[in-house]
Amino acid sequence: MSTVTETAVQSSQPPILPKSFNANQPTTIRLYPLSNYTFGTKENQPEEDPSVVARLTRLEEHYKHHGMRRTCEGILVCHEHNHPHILMLQIANAFFKLPGDYLRPEDDEVEGFKARLNERLAPVGSQFSGEGVNDEWQIGDTLAQWYRPNFETFMYPFIPAHVTRPKECKKLYFIQLPRSKVLSVPKNMKLLAVPLFELYDNTARYGPQLSAIPHLLSRYNFEFVDEAGNPTSVTPGGGPYQGEAPQTKVLAGDIAVEDGTNGTS
């Protein structure tokens, strides 16, 4: 403490203390470290459609019988070195996507979404036991809605002016991860932990939906805790991390991440 005081006194430019900037603060979300979670693999889950054309054809059939397709995906956040990371799937070393999928026509939105999350990430059988295996998903705020105006690949974060009946609406939900959880990914996919700075303004690699996630999460403040549950940093501020710099990590699935063709579906 004495060293800090002496340095401040000796400075020719003493720091200017800003006025309070804490009015109408956003919600503070507690993030747990990546090391708190257990990751495994399970049987392959092949894609339903062999091509983009087949996928759009199936969408058209769905629309004829059931109207607009409802899709839900989750933004699962943890931290590494006090920097938020998003849990994300990678398919065939190429396409990135968030956990989730389209809802069946008869599904309730939230319950149907939980079922799709379990299909992708819940452990099966007696693969794991103990804390965090059967914890129910905590579905949080809707952070974004993307619309598919036609039977095409393009989606927009608004309904174009000339469109009255969008063919699909995709909601992105914030998923509050508990202190510990067990996750299993299909063997034909990878589960990645991608830092926010890697996503930010990186549409070339991740596409417009995923690269917008840092913007969506800027509405929150974060409290970063260690494995024992003790706060280590908060936003804003908190100081630099110690040790290895944050980077994308493969949590389950194939060994290596390739830097080739990328995109989202």
**Which domains, from first to last, does the chain contain?**
27-264 (3.90.79.10)
For residue 31, give the H/E element and its range.
strand 28-31
pLDDT in tens, 17-39: 888 877 887 889 999 999 999 99
- Of 145, 173, 142, 161, nearest in space to 68 by CA: 145
205 token code pair: 């690699």
User: So what's the pLDDT on residue 2?
Assistant: 45
- The helix/strand/coil state of 88 is strand
pTM of the model: 0.83
9: pLDDT strictly greater than 90: no
Q: Are strands 69-80 and 182-186 parallel, antiparallel or unpaired?
A: unpaired
Q: Which percentage of the chain shows pLDDT scores above 70?
A: 83
Tell me the β-bridge partners of 194. 86
- Read off the pLDDT of residues 168-199 as tens digits, 9 standing for 90 and up: 999 999 998 999 999 999 999 999 999 999 99
Of 186, 158, 180, give the one whose Cα is nearest residue 170.
158
Instruction: Please give the Cα distance from 140 to 146 (Å, whole number).
Output: 17
